[in-house]
Amino acid sequence: MFTPVAGLIMGVIFGASLVLTGLTNPDKIIGALRLKDFYAIRTVAVFLLVGMLGTLILDLFGAANFSIKPAVILTALIGGALLGTGLGLTGFGPATGLASAASGRLDALVTVIGMIFGAHVYILIYPSVVIPLERILNFGSVTLPQITGASSALWVVPIFAAGSLALFITRSREQQYDEQRMRAGDLGMNEVFPFPLSPKPILREKGLYLKSDCLNAAYVFRQWKNLLFVVMLLCLLLIQGSFWLVSTGQVDIAENSNTEAPAVPGADSIQADLAAAPAKESPSRWLFGFDVTFERLTSIVRIANIILVLTSVLYALIMYFGLGISFKGGLGGLAHICGALYMALIIFVLLLPWQNFFGSITMGATYTPGELARWCTTDIGDTLGMVLFYLRFTGYWALVMLLLLLAQLRSFRWARAIVR
Amino acid sequence: MDELPILDKFLRKSRKGRLTAESRVLRYKCEEELIMTELNSRTPPLPWWAAGMLLGLVQVLAIALVKPMGVSKQFVVADAKVIERVAPEYSENHPLLSDEQYKKFGYGWWFNIGIVLGACLAALHLRAWKVRTVSLWWKRNHDAPVLLRLIAGFCGGVLLLLGARLAHGCITGQFISGWTQLSLSAIPFTITLLGFGMLVAYLVYPKAPNRLRREE
């Protein structure tokens, strides 16, 4: 239990610091490789020096967990060459590729997909190519201090001193440049004027000032809107995915919920949920590192439902505020944002679990796990029942999904209209 | 950068079809301004020494807690999982896939998921979350940017992971972690990594963007 949590936390810290330090930007990497932009080089140099010194200190206290890779000179050479080619071509490394895909770069996303293919190629060639190669020039897992017989301090301290000295000597120009930019106010997280061509705001003319202010606000709203959209999309996919997992029999439905379920769909779903919760654990299958049981699916669906309803409220509210801002600031794009607001409201209405309030008269697009269990376990004989079943779980969902995409498209047009 | 066509329209209309010398100067200035803005908006928020120290401390923390960082192995693990599901016999007999460490999602897997999460959160926090397809250097050097960039990205991705696994680690796992632990394998890896990286970057990106060119 400790390991996944530690991994997740370390990953979050590392990913965040990759973005914070700007190494996720391929321009920085390419600039470094072309020796035009020294930011990345200096950053990585400090990274290495601090890492070395810190590891040495940890080692002195006996707290370092080493994991030394086998030194196979030939494969390291070939691998370095291939990796260098990929790095020079794209400007991403594996870690920075992941991180910049997460910060919205589509080319990085494609690179990540390419990396998955690369892993597959590696698996395919492993028995025939890699194993023979690894026998050549294999020195095993050794470190430089072990080979030379000198203590690691003898290695680290001179390297650290020389590196720091070199960085310090070549610092002057870079630092001046940094300070200039700092004075100009664009190094920190200060405001970057969002639309480069528009004139700087003139303080005397209130209208322009208001307009640029409203533009900034609209940018913030747009960002949050996009985030909420992604969250909603994920939740919808989760819900639909768990429906398919259950209905195709990948996950066994716990038996308690089967027997105690009332006959009328949607009549007493809370009781059915309670019955489903303490169900015994059925034999499990893995999916992305989880053992998927119906019990777990139940909790996932519940959480996704809660998040969905809440985010749909926020989504509609953000559309409303966007409408207000673009009205107040005279930014234009009112028709688009009105359409988007309307659709967001419809989504919200469709998503609410009406079946819990009104019994079987109406239904919402979200379903409770108990309901799913009931629908799946009752025998559906005729075609009509089958059609109803899929309409209720997939058709309804597809409608909401369609509306969500349309709303996002409309609001995207709104954002573009604003920029114009 | 996307605003330039709009500017072009405006210039042409006012100058009757052709750009005069004056408007060409204006266009150049605007382009320069745009590139400056784009570069600045992508300027990392930390100076280099603080950035390096932050990353170094993360690495030290990782070594103190579990083990040095590494990214690329988990791609193989994910792939191995799929293969195990699709073709169990193949993965049973495969010398790599039958290894125990490729059969479960552990620390490294969650580490990668954490990278994605953390990067997303940080980009949102910096207001830098923006859908982009091309980089400045790429735009400067290639005429048909987007499709070519995606194709190059894919090929680069295949090479990246193949190379990383051949060398037993990617840039994080072999270059950074290798040097912080002073392992022998980092030396040949570094030599070819930087050599080929600079060579390919020189071939693919011969021209530098404007502001950098001016500084030469």
**Residue A331: which pLDDT band, with cuts at 50, 70 and 90?**
confident
CA dist A220 → A217, A359, B98 (Å): 5, 40, 49
**What are residue A292's DSSP bridge partners?**
A285
d(CA B38, CA B128): 11
How many Cβ atoms from other residues are within 10 Å of residue B44's Cβ?
Answer: 22
In 3D, which of A418, A363, A58 has the Cα closest to residue A222? Answer: A418
Greatest alpha-carbon pair distance for chain A in Å reads: 82
CA dist B60 → A57, A59, A152, B129 (Å): 10, 11, 16, 28
In 3D, which of B160, B144, B212, B69 has the Cα closest to residue A91? Answer: B160
- B98 in contact with A at a CB cutoff of 8 Å? no
d(CA A341, CA A323): 8
Chain-chain contact of B111 with A7 (C-beta, under 8 angstroms): yes
d(CA B203, CA B137): 12
Phi, psi (deg, nearest 5) at residue A134: -75, -15
d(CA B129, CA A309): 24
* Contacts for A366 with CB less than 8 Å, ≥ 6 apart: A239, A305, A308, A309, A351, A352, A353
Angle ∠(B138,B142,B144) on CA atoms, nearest 5: 110
Q: What percent of chain A has pLDDT over 70?
A: 78
Chain-chain contact of A80 with B121 (C-beta, under 8 angstroms): no
d(CA A214, CA A206): 12
Residues of chain B contacting A193 with CB distance shorter than 8 Å: 37
Question: Can you tell me whether residue A105 is helix, strand or coil?
Answer: strand
Residue B61 near residue A10 (C-beta atoms within 8 A): yes
The complex's ipTM works out to: 0.81
Residue B67 near residue B108 (C-beta atoms within 8 A): no
d(CA B15, CA A418): 27
DSSP assignment of B100-111 = GGGSS--HHHHH
d(CA A324, CA B153): 41
pLDDT in tens, B95-126: 777 777 777 788 888 899 999 999 999 888 87
Question: Can you tell me whether residue B183 is helix, strand or coil?
Answer: strand
* pLDDT value, residue A314: 92
Helix boundaries (H) for A248-366: 255-260, 269-276, 294-328, 334-351, 355-358
d(CA B185, CA B175): 9
Cα atoms in the Cβ-side hemisphere of radius 13 Å centred on B180: 39
Residue whose pair of structure tokens reads 């001046």 in the numeric block: A176
d(CA A225, CA B124): 12
pLDDT in tens, B41-98: 455 667 778 888 889 999 998 888 888 888 888 888 888 888 888 888 887 778 777 7
Cα atoms in the Cβ-side hemisphere of radius 13 Å centred on A59: 16
Q: pTM value? A: 0.58
Which of A45-59, B85-99, B152-166, B192-206 shows the lowest per-residue confidence on average (mean pLDDT)?
B85-99
Angle ∠(B46,A41,A31) on CA atoms, nearest 5: 95
**One-letter amino acid for residue A338 of the chain:** C
- DSSP E strands, A208-256: none
Strongest mean pLDDT among A210-224, A249-263, A308-322, B57-71: A308-322
Residues of chain A contacting B114 with CB distance shorter than 8 Å: 7-15
Q: How much is the mean pLDDT over chain A?
A: 77
Q: Compute the nearest-CA separation of A84 from chain B (Å).
A: 4
DSSP assignment of B10-33 = HHHHHHTTS--HHHHHHHHHHHHH
Q: Compute the nearest-CA separation of A403 from chain B (Å).
A: 22
Residue A86 near residue B163 (C-beta atoms within 8 A): yes
- Asked if pLDDT for residue A18 goes beyond 70, the answer is yes
* pLDDT value, residue B13: 58
d(CA B122, CA A24): 11
Question: Can you tell me whether residue A287 is helix, strand or coil?
Answer: strand
pLDDT greater at residue B23 or residue A64? A64
Question: Can you tell me whether residue A143 is helix, strand or coil?
Answer: strand
- Asked if pLDDT for residue A278 goes beyond 60, the answer is no
Angle between helices A26-33 and A73-90 (to 10 degrees): 120
**Residue A274: which pLDDT band, with cuts at 50, 70 and 90?**
very low
pLDDT in tens, A251-273: 666 544 443 333 344 434 444 44
Q: How much is the mean pLDDT over chain B?
A: 79
d(CA A415, CA A417): 5
In 3D, which of A315, A359, A370, A361 has the Cα closest to residue A337? Answer: A315
Task: Report the run of H or E that residue A291 belongs to, with start and end.
Answer: strand A290-292
Average pLDDT of the residues in B163-173: 88
Let me know if A393 is exposed, middle or buried by CB neighbors in 10 A (0-12, 13-18, 19+): buried
In our burial notation (b when 16+ CB lie closer than 10 A, e otherwise), range A155-168 reads bbeebbeebeeebe
In 3D, which of B208, B162, B17, B52 has the Cα closest to residue A51? Answer: B52
Q: What is the DSSP letter of A265?
A: T
* pLDDT value, residue A46: 92
Closest residue in A to B112 (Cα–Cα): A11
CB < 8 Å from A in window 156-215 of B: 156-174, 176-185, 188-205, 208-209, 212, 215
Helices and strands, counts by H and E, chain B:
11, 0
- Asked if pLDDT for residue A2 goes beyond 70, the answer is no
d(CA A347, CA A402): 10
Chain-chain contact of A11 with B117 (C-beta, under 8 angstroms): yes
**One-letter amino acid for residue B108 of the chain:** G
Best of B10, B27, B193 to disrupt the A interface by mutation (most A CBs within 10 Å)? B193
d(CA B210, CA A7): 41
Nearest by CB to B160, from A49, A115, A126: name it. Answer: A115
Chain-chain contact of A88 with B61 (C-beta, under 8 angstroms): no
Nearest by CB to A93, from B58, B105, B171: name it. Answer: B171
Let me know if A361 is exposed, middle or buried by CB neighbors in 10 A (0-12, 13-18, 19+): exposed
- Asked if pLDDT for residue A21 goes beyond 50, the answer is yes
Give percent helix, percent strand, percent coil of chain A, each to the nearest 5.
70, 0, 25
Residues of chain A contacting B39 with CB distance shorter than 8 Å: 27
